């Protein structure tokens, strides 16, 4: 097991290096560099820079060095000092911009994940155990509706409901008064009262998909001989289902956990824009539109890293859950 964990962690390193190269390539994708941009901005203000000044600036920023050296400098700044460079648009260090949003993104992703599990697992079991019952049909119907409606539409509907009937401030993860306030207990409580809308919106499709997957997995497992064995031992149905078929049915689902994670981080952008969430998605969108390349590259880097970590996490979880992976 220790060797397995070590190996898996080791395999993450080349993946992360590849991701960083791609991110850096994206930063350098637009024509011209940072200095060109400064020159252009200067021109707009009516200032003209001399060739020497421009060359000086290039030396200061290291842009006259070969591209490999620039990459090494960029990545070592990130790794050693947590310095992701500056955002052109906000004139702020990228780390400051991303930091809090990253935290919120992870918080939202995790709470959505738990929401999906809590709702989908019991319903999935029920649908399988009582296959073709009225409950199965009802949840299947709701599930397909959940899959079919675009997320942003659900977001709009929920916003309307919460504004009209619950009297809550709509959009965002905080009420306006807490938006720029420092972290406090009240701010956390405010967050929990806001986070449920994006949680439900982002979770609906995932819940529906998971119910279907779990139902199919469970139906496969319920027909296995070991279930008859367990029943012939005299176990009660509920204990039997939880101990045996559910344990087996969860395996494929754990291994697809990373997909869920990736989708939550990257797939929620449209919803985040509609709801005005302070997560990474909208920031990344803005960054691309404004050719804010350090911000964009860093955001991509961070999100890819989250995806890699999610995969690692689900692999290790699976190895822990399934002795066949651990021991064979």
Partner 1 sequence: MSSGSENLLDVRNLQTHFVTDDGVIKAVDGVSFSIPRGKTLCVVGESGCGKSITARSILNVVDPPGRIIGGDILFRPEAGREINIAKLDPRGKDIRAIRGKDITMIFQEPMSSLSALHTIGDQITEVILLHMHTSKQEARQLAINALRKVGIPRPAEMIDAYSFQLSGGMRQRAMIAMALVCEPKLLIADEPTTALDVTTQANMLDLIRDLQRDMGMSVMFITHDLGVVAEIADDVAVMYLGTIIERGSVDEIFTDPKHPYTRALLRSIPKLSIGGIGRGRLDAIRGMVPHPLNRPSGCPFHDRCDFAVAGICDQIKPPIVTFSDEHEVACLLYDKENPLPVNQQTVDQEPAVEANFRQPHSSDEVLLEVNDLKMHFPITSGLFNRVVGQVKAVDGVSFLVYQGETLALVGESGCGKTTLGHTLLRLYDPTAGEILYTQENAEVDLAKLPKNRLKRYRREIRMVFQDPHASLNPRLPVIEIIGEPLKVNGLAKGRALEKRVTDLLQKVGLRPEYIHRYPHAFSGGERQRIGIARALAPYPKLIVADEPVSALDVSIQAQILNLLKDLQAEFGLTYLFISHDLSVVAHISDRVAVMYVGKIVEMADTSTLFEQPHHPYTEALLSAILHPDPKTRNDKNRIRLEGDVADPSFDHKGCAFHPRCRYRQEKCETEVPALRQTADGHFAACHFAEELHLKGVQTIAPDEILTR
Residues lying near partner 1 in the complex (CB under 8 A): 3, 6-7, 10, 223-226, 228-237, 243-244, 247-248, 251, 321-324, 327-328
Pick the closer one to partner 1 by CB: 73 or 324.
324
If the CB atoms of residues 80 and 232 are measured against partner 1, the closer one turns out to be 232
CB of 224 to partner 1, least distance (A): 6
Q: DSSP letters along 53-64, please?
A: HHHHHHHHHTTT
93: three-class secondary structure by DSSP: strand
Give me the DSSP letters along 218-279: HHHHHTSHHHHHHHHTT--HHHHHHHTHHHHHHHHHHHTHHHHHHHHHHTTHHHHHHHT--S
Q: Choose between 289 and 324: whose C-beta lies nearer to partner 1.
A: 324
CA 74 to chain centre: 24
Question: Which CA distances in Å does 9 have to 119, 244, 258, 273?
Answer: 32, 30, 15, 35
Q: What is the closest distance, in whole angstroms, from the C-beta atom of residue 227 to partner 1 in the complex? A: 9
CB of 4 to partner 1, least distance (A): 11
The answer to whether 245 and 230 are in contact (CB under 8 A) is no
d(CA 130, CA 240): 15
Closer to partner 1 by Cβ: residue 164 or 324: 324
Q: Which is nearer to partner 1, 164 or 224 (CB)?
A: 224
Q: Give the Cα separation of 251 and 274 in Å (integer).
A: 35
Least Å distance between CB 21 and partner 1? 24
Structure tokens given for 74: 């960029």
Backbone phi and psi for residue 30, each to the nearest 5 degrees, phi listed first: -65, 150
Least distance (Å) from partner 1 to the CB of residue 195? Answer: 35
What stretches of 74-143 adopt beta strand conformation (E)? none
- Nearer of residues 80 and 327 to partner 1, judged by Cβ: 327
Rounded to a whole number of angstroms, the minimum distance from the CB of residue 229 to partner 1 is: 5
Q: Which is nearer to partner 1, 313 or 320 (CB)?
A: 320
Smallest distance from partner 1 to CB 181, Å: 48
């Amino acid at each position: 097991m220790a060797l397995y964990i070590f190996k898996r962690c080791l395999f993450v390193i080349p993946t992360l290096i590849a991701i960083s190269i791609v991110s850096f390539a994206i930063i350098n994708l637009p024509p011209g560099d940072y200095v060109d941009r400064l020159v252009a901005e200067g021109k707009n203000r009516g200032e003209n820079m001399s060739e020497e000044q421009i060359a000086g600036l290039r030396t200061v920023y290291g842009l006259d060095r070969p591209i490999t050296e620039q990459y090494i400098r960029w990545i070592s700044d990130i790794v050693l000092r947590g310095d992701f460079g500056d955002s052109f648009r906000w004139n702020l260090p990228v780390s400051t911009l991303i930091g809090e949003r990253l935290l919120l993104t992870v918080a939202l992703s995790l709470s959505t994940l738990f929401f999906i599990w809590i709702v989908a697992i019991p319903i999935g079991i029920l649908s399988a155990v009582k296959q073709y019952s009225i409950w199965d049909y009802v949840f299947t119907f709701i599930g397909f509706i959940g899959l079919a409606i675009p997320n942003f539409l659900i977001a709009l509907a929920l916003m309307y409901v919460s504004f009209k009937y619950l009297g809550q401030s709509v959009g965002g993860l905080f009420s306006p008064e807490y938006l720029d306030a420092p972290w406090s207990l009240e701010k956390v409580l405010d967050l929990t009262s806001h986070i449920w809308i994006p949680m439900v919106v982002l979770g609906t499709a995932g819940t529906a998909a998971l119910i279907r997957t779990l139902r199919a997995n469970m139906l496969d497992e319920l027909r296995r001989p070991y279930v008859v064995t367990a029943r012939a031992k005299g176990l009660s149905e509920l204990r039997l289902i939880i101990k045996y078929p559910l344990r087996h049915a969860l395996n494929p689902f754990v291994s697809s956990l990373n997909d869920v994670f990736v989708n939550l981080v990257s797939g929620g952008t449209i919803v985040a824009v509609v709801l005005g969430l302070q997560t990474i998605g909208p920031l990344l969108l803005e960054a691309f539109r404004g050719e804010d390349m350090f911000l964009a590259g860093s955001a991509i880097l961070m999100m890819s890293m989250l995806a890699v970590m999610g995969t690692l996490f689900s692999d290790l979880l699976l190895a822990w859950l399934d002795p066949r992976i651990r021991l064979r």
